[in-house]
């Protein structure tokens, strides 16, 4: 059985959602942030030295990094390839993995910069215009890929949607989605899925 180490108010709610979508058996261990720093505390750092989440354990295997966790969980549980393509179609497999890696490999960094400048309350003369331009570049690209589809790679939900929904929802919290009504609808569509609602019920409320 998988154990998920879940830090409240953060990225790993999307891993709870992943496990629910995949129909995996799992144990959820919940950790609270330090109320002053909003960072993890000693209990999570005792699990993994970085003190980050998500972290999963499956027997002797411990994994971090959301994209890798997504790949592992779906390889193990999605044996009918409902949520991720088989390598039998190498082009589809490659495109899927590109979008799986894209959210945190490319999109997250400018959103993080935007979050930090908003928290500071001061526009930075270099960072603010850079993050604004990068956010527009990436979200134009995501909106173009989505087009009229329900999900990022078509009308069927797939593993790449966990990460894309994460960065889209983060952009929404940062007030960056006003020009993108299709992405607002996409986030609502993803977060209305029964598996996401179960994840919230188990990990947040």
Structural domains counted in the chain: 2
Element (H, E) at 131: helix 127-146
Are residues 103 and 119 located together in one domain of the fold? yes
Q: 176 and 94 in one domain? A: yes
Q: Are residues 12 and 104 in the same domain?
A: no
Domain that holds residue 133: 90-193
Average pLDDT, consecutive stretches of 10 residues, N- to C-terminus, the chain (205 residues):
90 96 96 82 90 95 97 97 97 98 97 95 95 98 98 98 98 97 98 97 83
* Tokens describing residue 21: 């979508």
183 dihedral zone (left: phi>0; alpha: psi -120 to 50; beta)? alpha
Distance, in Å, from the CA atom of 140 to the CA atom of 158, rounded to the nearest integer, reads 21
Query: Left (φ > 0), alpha (ψ -120 to 50) or beta: where does 113 sit?
Result: alpha
3-class secondary-structure state, position 141: helix
95 and 188 assigned to the same domain: yes
pLDDT at 161: 98
In terms of pTM, does the model score above 0.85? yes
């Amino acid at each position: 059985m998988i154990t998920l180490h879940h830090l409240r108010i953060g990225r790993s709610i999307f891993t709870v959602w992943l496990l629910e979508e995949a129909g995996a058996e799992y144990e959820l261990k919940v950790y609270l942030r330090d109320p002053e720093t909003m960072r993890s505390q000693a209990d999570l750092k005792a699990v993994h030295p970085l003190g980050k989440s998500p972290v999963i354990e499956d027997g002797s295997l411990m994994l971090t990094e959301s994209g890798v966790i997504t790949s592992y969980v779906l390889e193990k549980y999605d044996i009918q390839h409902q949520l991720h393509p088989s390598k039998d179609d190498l082009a589809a497999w490659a495109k899927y993995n590109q979008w799986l890696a894209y959210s945190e490999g490319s999109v997250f960094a400018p959103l993080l910069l935007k979050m930090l400048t908003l928290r500071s309350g001061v526009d930075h003369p270099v960072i603010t215009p850079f993050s604004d331009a990068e956010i527009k570049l990436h979200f134009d690209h995501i909106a173009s890929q989505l087009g009229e589809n329900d999900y990022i790679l078509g009308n069927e939900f797939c593993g790449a949607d966990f990460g894309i929904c994460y960065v889209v929802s983060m952009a929404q919290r940062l007030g960056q989605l006003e020009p993108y009504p299709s992405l607002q609808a996409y986030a609502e569509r993803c977060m209305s899925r029964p598996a996401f609602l179960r994840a919230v019920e188990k990990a947040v409320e």
